[in-house]
Copies of this chain bind each other. A is one copy, B any other.
Amino acid sequence: MSYDPPKLAEAVVAGERRALARLITLVENDAVAARPALRHLFPRTGRARVLGITGAPGVGKSSLVDRLIAAHRAAGLTVAVVAVDPTSPFTGGAILGDRIRMQRQATDPGVFIRSLATRGYLGGLSRSTAEVVSVLDAFGFDIIIVETVGTGQAEVDIVQLAHTTVVVTVPGLGDEIQAIKAGVLEIADVFVVNKGDLPGAERTVRELESMLDLGGERLWRPPVVTTVAREDEGISNLMAALAEHRGYLESSGQLQQKQEKRMQRVITDLVIDLRAEPVLRLARETGQLAVVAAEAARRRLDPYSAATRIVEEYRSKEEDR
């Protein structure tokens, strides 16, 4: 099979799964090379529902995602899962649980599961996640679930990517509630208290509801759904909450707003690429970056002057052309 990006894009549009897997690999490994393919696929995107699932390790996100796959499949919808694993920034390895799931769902052509790990450079993971979601969207998946370990930047990025963000917690996670108080509250469209058969489940629900009471009037009040994912309990309630939020997004105009905001971010990133990439490439190729960085490390040159020098060097080369 060809690795030529436009041909890969054609094959993705034609529904070839191997092309899909290859294009995703290309997006992960070489964002610049993948760009023509993404450009080709762009008009076919914007149809999938993107669902973000986040929460601390051990709250049962994977089991929940498993149940959501089954529930959506039962409703006749195809599902792709992107498991974002920011805990393995260096090895680039897949999540163990994800591999297990992959085997389980491998026989169903209506399901696609893929792990993404950060490549260690800033913003790299969130951008490649967004691009992988676009590819899956263009391929035609009805539902795309983005699953991530819940802390910090990854959550912020999910909010910008997902139409509906589900924050998963479990009873008795004192720290977890702290974290929710501190800010996760504002990213959740739906709360799930999983492992709802554990002691203290009702108390956790009550605490979340009180926090939501304190949050004041809002157009959308996130529902708190109790589940026991391993026993398949509460999943229909969760599906109903997701459908309700989707209805809210559409009727309120929030869906369009979210999409415009996301496009602003995508275009901003591309402007940064277009403006800064050639400058930095030249500075790397000529060794200028390494030289000025060594000078700066010795405090002989400040980084602000160093950056200005690099930009001026590029400009003078540009004028020569």
Contact = CB atoms under 8 A, between A and B. Distances in A.
Interface of A: 35, 38-39, 42-43, 45-46, 56-58, 85-91, 93, 95-96, 117-118, 120, 122-123, 125-126, 149, 151-157, 175-176, 178-179, 182-184, 186-187, 256, 259-264, 266-268, 270-276, 279-280, 283, 289-290, 292-294, 296-297, 299, 302-308, 310-311
B89 A260 contact: no
Given A39-B304, A304-B270, A310-B267, A90 B183 contact: yes
B289 A264 contact: yes
A95 to B, nearest CB: 8
A306 B268 CA distance: 10
A46 B183 contact: no
A310 B190 CA distance: 37
Given A39-B302, A153-B125, A183-B93, A307 B88 contact: no
B152 A87 contact: yes
Contacts of A58: 175
A87 B47 CA distance: 31
Interface of A is mostly: helix
A179 B97 CA distance: 12
Contacts of A267: 289, 292-293, 296, 303, 306-307, 310
Contact of A85 (B182, B187, B262): B182
Nearest to A149: B151
A151 to B, nearest CB: 4
Most B CB within 10 A of own CB, among A93, A96, A125, A304: A304
Nearest to A306: B267
The 6 residue pairs across chains A and B that have the minimum distance between CB atoms = A86-B152, A270-B307, A88-B183, A88-B182, A263-B293, A259-B297
